[in-house]
Structure 1
């Protein structure tokens, strides 16, 4: 998938948390997570004007935020974009995870090389690259950031661990909070017990109905969960079970922009 700082302490963005929604223990008071059950639009495939009922929007870090909405900035923090593989090989070959033959380890579903987060030195070096992306989200006016592929360790052939992912996520959360951005846990239910230590403030979860994870995320984040389903039957079941509590969106897997052939968007 695709690749922001902050809302200032003085303004409360549209859809931001109220006094009853507390940020994670690691978050400064200037960070504002979204409210529960805000209608959410997932626009990673291209930005377009949100429908009138939408209150929160997620867009790629290269796009501008949607005026008047709670804006979440997508950053591919744990893997490289396919089109960027060459530049990583040229400029930072040591930061790509390698297999026994010295070739990059690839997420086959998205053709994305995994970044090497296996040591503190490499995590620090990666923050010199990813950190400025988060800064850019804040400078653009986003309210929050969602670092994707937290679960890349599951595709690493044992070369990475959940501990490596949590350690890098803590660095990302610290950077986000320094820029007054809330930070989302993206998927990866196995790391829910570490959410407070890492510093996550809310969650963006794909297909939690299909994988029976919605209850766990909802309980962990007091319903501050943006759910994206890609199958109609899962979306229907999710709306029936969670429609009055969670932010639920049905999207096509390519998250095509509105008006594009094959674009699918529904909310409940």
Structure 2
């Protein structure tokens, strides 16, 4: 629920100094965050997730999660001027044939399809190949001014990738991605990978989850909330009446979205 600006006494002065307008609210206030000063979203923050279609910047929320390749520095700057923090969506665990750097990935690291057209799992064991490629992608996010990164396909070890990936391989790779983002001054979210949350919660600044309510898994995200870190959560098939009460109890930032992740949303 969005906070209404107060108008009395010292509290009013504090709110005026902090700014209380579009994109404001308790969830938009700066968090103490990590010691290096990077942004860290807090539990309950409202957000918009749009990866396809013409970007709708009229949704009155403090956080936008958008495709890092599709949008320019000018778009990120405009969202910043409107008081928003902006997350850079990237796939770090799967190859996508429609990205401009697709030809830089050798065939030896490209595995089975992951169920989405044009996407195939990567051999995350090959950090000698993947680290410089992912560093370039994260450089792009940084140079465009993004505040954070949503690295996707971070749980290949639990899927049929075409490679004999282990849980240890996944931990090593996910921590590599987190380090690369932090070295560039950006926050980073753990995408899905619920089984490894206890090992990774300290390495990541927030979580992004799909369909934990549908599969009865939302309690597994509690370590992030307990650490003061947001869980950005989306459902696709359940009506909001089926998950919003639990989301509020667990302090998740929950949306109902369509699978194409256009501008349409219903927030809890």
Shared topology, TM-score over 0.5?
A: yes
Check the 8 A contact 1:78/1:152 in 2, yes or no.
yes
Secondary structure (helix, strand or coil) at the match of 2:130 reads helix
Does residue 102 of structure 2 align to residue 95 of structure 1?
Answer: no
Secondary structure (helix, strand or coil) at the match of 2:220 reads helix
Deviation, structure 1 residue 157: 5.2
- Classify 1:169/1:81 alpha carbon distance in 2 versus 1 (closer, same or farther; 3 Å): same
CA distance in 2, matches of 1:190, 1:76: 20
Structural RMSD (CA): 2.5
From 223, 230, 235, the counterpart of 1:224: 230
Alignment deviations for residues 39-80 of structure 1 (CA, whole Å, 9 cap, x no partner): 111111135233443111100112142332111111100001
Does residue 157 of structure 2 align to residue 143 of structure 1?
Answer: no
Find the counterpart in structure 2 of residue 160 from structure 1: 165
- Classify 1:79/1:238 alpha carbon distance in 2 versus 1 (closer, same or farther; 3 Å): same
When the two structures are superposed, what TM-score results if normalisation uses the length of structure 1?
0.77
CA distance in 2, matches of 1:154, 1:58: 25
Check the 8 A contact 2:207/2:224 in 1, yes or no.
no
Find the counterpart in structure 2 of residue 204 from structure 1: 208
Alignment deviations for residues 141-178 of structure 1 (CA, whole Å, 9 cap, x no partner): 11110110011222225621221121111111111111
Find the counterpart in structure 2 of residue 114 from structure 1: 121
Asked which structure has the greater RCO (Cα within 8 Å, sep 6+), the reply is: 1
CA distance in 1, matches of 2:210, 2:54: 19
- Classify 1:232/1:212 alpha carbon distance in 2 versus 1 (closer, same or farther; 3 Å): closer
Secondary structure (helix, strand or coil) at the match of 1:190 reads helix
Find the counterpart in structure 1 of residue 265 from structure 2: 265
Deviation, structure 1 residue 106: 1.6
Find the counterpart in structure 1 of residue 46 from structure 2: 39
What is the number of residues matched between the two proteins?
231
When the two structures are superposed, what TM-score results if normalisation uses the length of structure 2?
0.77
Find the counterpart in structure 2 of residue 18 from structure 1: 31
Query: What residue ranges of structure 1 are gaps of 5+ in the alignment?
Result: 1-12, 98-104, 259-263
From 65, 88, 106, the counterpart of 1:73: 88
Query: What residue ranges of structure 2 are gaps of 5+ in the alignment?
Result: 1-22
CA distance in 2, matches of 1:17, 1:194: 26
Secondary structure (helix, strand or coil) at the match of 1:163 reads helix
Check the 8 A contact 1:16/1:33 in 2, yes or no.
no
Secondary structure (helix, strand or coil) at the match of 2:94 reads coil
CA distance in 2, matches of 1:16, 1:61: 24
Moved over 6 A (4+): none
